[in-house]
Chain A
Amino acid sequence: MKNTMMKSFTVGLILIAMALIPACRSSRKAKPTTPTTTVTETVPDVSATAATETVVDTQTDFVREDPRPTTEELPTDLDALNRYVQERGHVRDAFFGYDESALSADAQAALTSSANWLRSNPQYNLLIEGHTDERGTEQYNLALGDRRANTARQFLTALGIDGNRLRTVSYGEERPFATGSNESAWSQNRRAHLVIVGTR
């Protein structure tokens, strides 16, 4: 029992060392390109406005010099508002790989643009729902949904969104977006769904 433990430890060390090298390299390659381009492609104007406001938070000097105060008319009804921001891609759900809770580059881009919108609309809070596809077991999937919702939450707080504005709930596989037992339905259901909720 003790011998195998040591053996496995050594094997583990080697395996991890092997895994480390490509991890470091690939991440260096991926980072500067993907997220930046995706963001500017999809939501150019919003990110600009949002960016101005970020500066407002840290550099009080420029508060009054904001050149383009955006006066975008937002629907007052919450359902309508959620449809509005999702359709325009201002707020976007993060999708996950099978049995994964780590954020892909696409998911990061979606959350980045959502963070921008939240920054420029500080009067709203966000509910993050964690969902999974139907292929796993229900009980473990509830826990996986919780993890996904919180991965998204942590990413948003890392982007500077106040944690007090973000609430999470897991639905596991209990409330699927798409029905059907095929990959297109499954991939639709593996997500952190962002819902704008009440004003502060």
Chain B
Amino acid sequence: MKKILAVLSFALPALLSAQTDVTVTIDPSQASQIVRIAVPFPDSVPKTAGATVAASEEIREPFFAPLTRDLAYSDAFAIAPLPPGIAPTIEVAKRAGAHYLLKINVFREGPDYLVDPELLDMTGASVLKPQRYRSPRAALTRTAHTIANNILRIVRGTPGIFMTRIAFASNRTGNWEIWLMDWDGANQTQITNHGVISILPSWAPDNERMVYTSWLKGTSDMWIINRRGGGRIRLHTGLNLNTSATFSPVNNDIAFVGSTNGNPDIYLINDAGGNIRRLTSTGSIESTPEWSPNGRQISFTSGRSGTPQIYVMDAEGTNVRRISFEGDWNDDATWSPDGERIAYTSRVRGRFQIRIHNTVTGETRIVAGEGSNEQPSWSPDGRWITFQSNRGGKWQIYRMRADGTDLLPLTSQGENKEPDWSKKLE
């Protein structure tokens, strides 16, 4: 009996996903096309006994807005406009050209909000596993991102980036501290409170920890901290500088810039502060290491040719080659998640721009525009780049597609810089 139950509960999701496949194969061209989805504002009719319906205005900003934003920016969906004042039925949605109708009910139970999403295809069949989301008001936005991720996974079969977070440095408190925000700029929270300069945050591959540089002890040191601001440890290197630290995507090594006698080089150290290895040994300045996604290559900046240029080496420090030949100051190299592209900051006629180098073909092109644009970081699905720009007079963090379109400012309070997008999807 128990066995049968277990089999059933395994079979159920399989059935559901099979059904999803069916809905997609109804229109084969749909897979490569944008799926139109109708998202009426949550129902105001109570359906659950004992719960009250959430007032529409209290859920618009924390829930409905981020949900529709996620879907609209997913590259998979377009929002089908529904006529106002008419009950959103399948027929109405169909007439609006939708492929799916997302019906949502939101209730209140004490301090908690209960969210019931239902995704219907145009035959009226439900394609989303029935699930109720319970969260306090402060976590409603995360519920919205979770639902958007689930819908994307069901319809497209790919994980979404809506729960990823961007670490950055902000001086809005009067000092540079480490902060976090959601991928759409919402939910900005302070992680450090050192009261000195704390900058250059970089995520570990598990999305749980970060490493950053702080002058907390008078000199610059590397610190590891978890995403809630706890578990802080200092990495003792015995070297100067200790900047630009970055976690290996495949093991517990951290690459960073260390210096002895004014000679900055690329070093490795493990995340417990042991096993220091030096990877470069030139008399020139080396800085800004970054791992390739397969963990086997490290890009870095070097002044060995007179100006700062981008180089790549094997993770052992062997096989060094230069990859940037245009621009008289290049820095901040960072790899796309598939390892094919490297984005970096490149100075062209006195202004810094984001340049994208293809590691396979060797071709490069410039994206971004006004002002100085620096410190790019890829979204974990490789579709977006976040970076800092002073185009508005102050340093702020922006987000754009990898081709430079759909530019959006993410920050506005104080000055903000050095965004680093978390590495893991969901």
Residues of chain A at the chain B interface (Cβ within 8 Å): 99, 101, 136-140, 142-144, 146-151, 153-154, 167-171, 174-175
Contacts and interface: CB of A to CB of B under 8 A. Distances in A.
Nearest to A147: B262
Contacts of B288: 137, 139-140
Given A147-B262, A150-B261, A151-B262, A140 B331 contact: yes
Interface string B206-230: 0000000001001110000000000
A156 to B, nearest CB: 12
Interface in B176-207: 176, 197, 199-200
B262 A142 contact: no
Contacts of A144: 285
B257 A142 contact: yes
A138 B418 contact: yes
A154 B287 contact: no
Given A140-B303, A150-B259, A168-B262, 5 more contacts: A99-B329, A137-B375, A146-B264, A147-B259, A169-B219
B424 interface: no
A139 B301 contact: yes
A142 B285 CA distance: 10
Interface string B223-251: 00000000000000000110110000000
A137 B262 contact: no
B329 A136 contact: yes
Q: Max chain B CB contacts within 10 Å: which of A146, A147, A151?
A: A146
Which of the four size classes fits the interface of chain B? Answer: 35 or more
Contact of B262 (A139, A149, A167, A175): A149
A195 to B, nearest CB: 11
A175 B240 contact: no
B121 interface: no
Contacts of B264: 143, 146-147
A4 to B, nearest CB: 13
Contacts of A174: 176, 197, 199
Contacts of B374: 137-138
Contacts of B301: 139-140
A143 B329 contact: no
Given A139-B301, A174-B199, A175-B197, A147 B219 contact: no
Contacts of B352: 137
17 contacts: A136-B331, A139-B200, A139-B243, A139-B301, A140-B301, A142-B243, A143-B243, A143-B287, A148-B262, A150-B261, A154-B262, A169-B220, A170-B220, A170-B240, A170-B259, A174-B176, A175-B197
B345 interface: yes
A40 B110 CA distance: 81
A167 B286 CA distance: 21
Q: Max chain B CB contacts within 10 Å: which of A140, A144, A174?
A: A140
Contacts of B331: 136-137, 139-140
Given A137-B374, A138-B417, A150-B262, A143 B285 contact: yes
B220 A143 contact: no
A136 B303 CA distance: 13
* 5 interchain residue pairs of minimum CB distance: A150-B262, A137-B331, A143-B264, A143-B287, A139-B288
Contacts of A149: 262
A185 to B, nearest CB: 15
A32 to B, nearest CB: 27
Contact of A170 (B176, B200, B241, B332): B241
B308 interface: yes
B263 interface: yes
A147 B240 CA distance: 10
Contacts of A137: 288, 308, 329, 331-332, 345, 352, 374-375
A140 B352 CA distance: 14
A147 B285 contact: yes
A171 B218 CA distance: 11
B178 to A, nearest CB: 14
Contacts of B243: 139, 142-143
Contact of A146 (B200, B240, B303): B240
Contacts of B218: 169
Contacts of B200: 138-139
Nearest to A137: B331
A149 B259 CA distance: 12
Contacts of B287: 139-140, 142-143
A24 B219 CA distance: 39
Contact of B241 (A136, A142, A151, A153): A142
A169 B375 CA distance: 23
Given A143-B264, A174-B176, A168 B285 contact: no
Given A150-B261, A169-B220, A174-B197, A138 B308 contact: no
Given A139-B288, A174-B176, A153 B262 contact: yes
Given A138-B375, A168-B262, A169-B220, A143 B418 contact: no
Given A138-B374, A139-B301, A139-B331, A168 B199 contact: no
B285 A140 contact: yes
B174 to A, nearest CB: 14
Contacts of A142: 220, 241, 243-244, 257, 287
A190 B211 CA distance: 28
A154 B283 CA distance: 15
Interface string B260-291: 01111000000000000000000001111000
